[in-house]
Every structure is written in C-alpha cells, then in structure tokens.
Amino acid sequence: MDDLMGYVIGETSNTELNFLAKHMPEIGSYVSINYCDLEILGMVESVNQGCKIFEDVYNVKDFEKLKDFENNDSYYTIGKIKILGDVKNMQIPRIPPKPGTEVYDASEKILGEIFSKGTIEIGNLISADSKVKLDVNKLCSRHLAILAITGMGKSNTVSVLLEELNNIHATVLVFDMHREYVEIEAKNSTIRRNIIRPKINVYNMSYDALMSLAGVDPQATVQRAMGRRAMKKIKESKKEVDFNTVDEYINSIINELNYYMGMDEFKSKVDSILTLIMRFEDLMTFKDKITAINYNPIQDIKENYVNIVDISELDESSTDLIISYFTGEILKDRKKVLWDTKVAKPIFIIYEEAHLIVPQNRPTKSKIPISKIAREGRKFGVGICLVSQRPKTLDQESLSQCNNFIISKLIEPSDQKHVQHASENLSEDLLNQLPGLNVGEAVIIGPCLKIPAMVKIKRFEGEYGGEDVKFDELWTTEKEKNIPEFIESNELFNDDL
C-alpha cells in the first residue's frame, strides 16, 4: 500500500479539500484518495502549520512560559488538495469524499504512467522521481506561453524544446532576437539548423508598410498619399518579375515621384515629394540587407529543420515588419497547402520577447497575423510559442489563446494576475507558488499534460548563446594576461581620438 499521508478533515467538496497531515507534505506533490470505488488523484497546493497552545496568546511573557511546555505533539499540519480527477480517465468525481477518508502519497507507478505518455521529455517532477513528457500534438496545436522573470530558464526551456522537437523531425521556426540559437549545439544529438537571413519582399509589401520601412512618418499625410499614388501606378504597369533587383523597383518609384515634381498640380507639394524621394534613396542604402524582390520567405524555410531567423541586428520597427511578414506568409502558405492537398504541413513558431511583438496596449504589425494564428492556427497546423519576461505587457487576447503554460518564477502580482486572467486552469494556490520557484523550476499546465505539474526542467545539454556570462572567470583570465599596472588616463583618451 502507498504511504498514508493523513486524513480528510472539515467540509469537503468534489474539487478541493483539506487534510490533516501525518508528515509535512511537499507543495506540488500528488496524493491519492480512494472512495466510491474510485482512485482519485489530487495535488497538494498549499500547506499550513499551526500550534493550538499558542493560539490567542499575545503576551510575550505568557508565550515564553508556554514555549517551555510545548512539544512536537502540539503542532498540526493541514494541507490543501486540489482534486484533479480519477486515475483512469481524469474526470472530476461527482461526489466529495467523507471527512476521515485516508489520503495516500500517490504511487510512483501511477505518476510514471501519467507523465510518461508524451513524446517531449521536458524534465522531472519536483516532488517525485518521475520523468515528465509532454504531448507534442496538444503542445503545438494549442499554443504555448513560456513565462518567467529574466534568468529563470526561459531560453534553457526553449533549447530543450528545440532539441526534443528536432528529434521527432518537427519543423520549427524561431525568431532569434539575441543570437541565442543560431549556434545551438546539443551534446547528444545533432540539431538540424537552418539559419535564415531576414528579408522582406518590397513588391509584395503594402504601400504603408514599405513607406514605414523607408522611415516615412505615419503622420506625413502628403508624403504617404504621393507615395501610394506612385507605387500604385508602378504596380499597375509592371509585374514583380519585370524587376531584377530591389533598386530597379525603388528607382522606378523615385522616377515616378520625380515626374510628379514637374507637374503643376503638385507644385505646393514639392517639398514633401523631395523628402519622400530622399527616404526611398535611404531605403536602398540602409535597408539593402533586408529587402528583396521576387522572394517569398517560404522558400527559405526547411521542413523538419529548426529554422532560425536571425533578427539580432534589426531595429524595433524592422523586427516588427519582418516578423509580421514571415508570420503572415506562413499562415497563407499553410492554409493553401491544406486546401490544395487536404493534408496539413505543421509548423511551430517561437517568438522570444513576445511582449515587444504582441504588446498589450500598443498596435504593432505583428499583432495582426500572430493573434490570427493564435485564434485559428491549429486548424492549419500552425502552433505558436510566446516567450516573455513581462507577461503583464503581453497582449491578453493572444495570451489567452495559449492553452499551455510553462511558468517559472514570477514575482510581480500584476504579472501573476495577468497570467491568471488568461488561463482559467491556474488556481490561486498554484499562482502563489510562482514567486518561490527556483531557476529551472516551473509550473506546467494545459492540455500538453494530463494534470498540472511542478517540474524541474532539465538542463539543456549542449550550448546555446544566452547563458549567463561568468564575470569572475572571464575577468580572472583577463588578469592572467600581462596587464600593465598603471595607465596614464590621457593615453586612453588619446587612443579614442
């Protein structure tokens, strides 16, 4: 028989109950309760300890006297259990257990069966020796949010997921903001990496998006109107294939604008047109790395690879444009494939720093296709993963479409509330555990697991780029080099000049 942990006490319900514990139970550990021919599984969500003889004593002298009489027997421990369902089919029982019912430590065998069903091994239960594997279909199709304050293990979790997904030949796309994954290497497997240089098709872009890329102020209505007119004219007369290079296309817009400069009709707008021409000239010089023509990002994405779009060198507005462009084109492509072939071509897209890309109170270009995928992507085999250290600034609507959550330490109550708002499965008690989690520990909830779990995420075995810099080691190695003891400060300045 399993270890007896204690007895149900007080008023019970079929969703939660309290028990008087024989030993101190661990928060996040599982219990089993047998009644009505069912074996019910529950999770210890909080624990309280008390001592009867100290109750209502508010005088220090009395307290100190009583303390001498106190022995371990006067303490009691009460655990609060959230009922998860019966072991067989995880359904919540219709009736609550009677007070006095025995509460047992759930056996490792049961936990092993529950948590070993999935394909993606993410780590171990904190409270028991059981591996935790996630159901990849539910993880990807029902979207995922990885949330925690900085340094708590988000990138490590992403790296573990990348290796595991790569092992099952998944097609994954990561927007890599900090060059964390471009050189990812695993010790025990070969991660098939495909590095994509971010490019955007200038001919396919909307008029407004192209002008934003060129740096035209959104409020500059005259410039915007003239630009639209010129681009529309060019597009009506020439197809994309008529241009060999980006510069050919942009120059044709500039020529059209130059033509307007000479027209009487636009005499009063000459200054605006001139500024616009300068913006387009700058576009050819400064944005030449990310512009392309006769290009579709789909051609760069390799199936069954970890595709990494290196956006580390882009500014915020180009990042937004690239992400919205890639995401929109992927959704279009996946819809088309499904309609044409009747078979989906699944892809899982990971967005780091998601609060910058899909923020709560600010419109961005990426918000439109990402929230579209969040809502309807699963029909077409497109899953998303939002990674963020500032959940409260993450778009509530997109977040609430994520059904799976891997949440590590979150301290700010406003972050916690925002997440709780998005996920009905995150109970108040589980939420209260978030500030106490250590590096690499996380609460995992959602359809990717049969029941919620507190997990020690495994350490990614290999190298990724975002690991904490070891200041002391690096400085010590520097020290070993022959560093002169004294430098005339002027010398430093002279070098800079």
Ligand X SMILES: Nc1ncnc2c1ncn2[C@@H]1O[C@H](COP(=O)(O)OP(=O)(O)O)[C@@H](O)[C@H]1O
153 binds, among ligand X, Mg ion, none (CB under 5 to 8 A by kind): ligand X
Core vs surface per residue 8-32: b (16+ CB within 10 A) or e = bbeebeeebbbbbbeeebebbbbbb
Smallest gap from Cβ 461 to ligand X, in A, equals 10
Q: Give the residue with the Cβ less far from Mg ion, 355 or 450.
A: 355
Smallest gap from Cβ 180 to Mg ion, in A, equals 6
- In angstroms and rounded to an integer, the radius of gyration of the C-alpha atoms of the chain is 29
409 binds, among Mg ion, ligand X, none (CB under 5 to 8 A by kind): none
- Quote the tokens at residue 421: 């708002």
The SS3 assignment for 107 reads coil
Q: Closest CB to ligand X belongs to which residue?
A: 440
156 binds, among Mg ion, ligand X, none (CB under 5 to 8 A by kind): ligand X
Smallest gap from Cβ 469 to Mg ion, in A, equals 13
Q: Give the residue with the Cβ less far from ligand X, 428 or 467.
A: 467
29, 127, 155, 159: which one contacts Mg ion (CB under 5 A)?
155
Residue with token string 């070891």 = 470
439 binds, among Mg ion, ligand X, none (CB under 5 to 8 A by kind): ligand X
344 binds, among Mg ion, ligand X, none (CB under 5 to 8 A by kind): none
Q: Give the residue with the Cβ less far from Mg ion, 180 or 256.
A: 180
Q: How many Å apart are CA 31 and CA 468, to the nearest integer?
A: 37
CA atoms 132, 138, 139, 142: torsion sign: negative
Q: Give the residue with the Cβ less far from Mg ion, 359 or 466.
A: 466
Residues with Cβ within 8 Å of 446's Cβ and at least 6 positions away in sequence, in order, are: 138, 139, 142, 144, 402, 403, 404, 405, 423, 425
Q: Give the residue with the Cβ less far from ligand X, 158 or 273.
A: 158
Smallest gap from Cβ 420 to ligand X, in A, equals 20
Residue closest to 216 by CA, chosen among 292, 262, 288, 278? 278
Residue 97 touches Mg ion, criterion: CB under 5 A? no
Smallest gap from Cβ 112 to ligand X, in A, equals 21
Q: Give the residue with the Cβ less far from Mg ion, 350 or 374.
A: 350
Q: Give the residue with the Cβ less far from ligand X, 142 or 154.
A: 154
Smallest gap from Cβ 439 to ligand X, in A, equals 5
Q: How many Å apart are CA 373 and CA 398, to the nearest integer?
A: 9
Smallest gap from Cβ 145 to ligand X, in A, equals 13
> Is residue 181 within 8 Å of 435, Cβ to Cβ?
no
Q: How many Å apart are CA 61 and CA 250, to the nearest integer?
A: 86
Smallest gap from Cβ 450 to ligand X, in A, equals 22
* Cα dihedral value 469, 470, 476, 480, nearest 10: -50
String of DSSP letters for 266-334: GGGGHHHHHHHHHHHHHHHHHSTTTEESS--GGGGPPTTSEEEEE-TT--HHHHHHHHHHHHHHHHHHH
10 binds, among ligand X, Mg ion, none (CB under 5 to 8 A by kind): none
Residue 440 touches Mg ion, criterion: CB under 5 A? no
DSSP 394: B
Q: Give the residue with the Cβ less far from ligand X, 178 or 417.
A: 178
440 binds, among ligand X, Mg ion, none (CB under 5 to 8 A by kind): ligand X
Q: Give the residue with the Cβ less far from ligand X, 157 or 171.
A: 157
Q: Which residues bind ligand X (CB under 6 A)?
A: 148, 150-156, 439-440, 457, 459, 466-468
Residue 198 touches Mg ion, criterion: CB under 5 A? no
Smallest gap from Cβ 353 to ligand X, in A, equals 10
Q: How many Å apart are CA 215 and CA 280, to the nearest integer?
A: 9
Stretch that binds Mg ion, among 21-29, 271-279, 364-372, 462-470 (CB under 5 A): 462-470
Q: Give the residue with the Cβ less far from Mg ion, 114 or 148.
A: 148
Residue with token string 């072939």 = 341
Residue 466 touches Mg ion, criterion: CB under 5 A? yes
Q: How many Å apart are CA 68 and CA 45, to the nearest integer?
A: 33
Strands (DSSP E) found in 90-139: 102-105, 120-125, 131-134
Q: How many Å apart are CA 393 and CA 361, to the nearest integer?
A: 7
Q: Which residues bind Mg ion (CB under 5 A)?
A: 154-155, 466
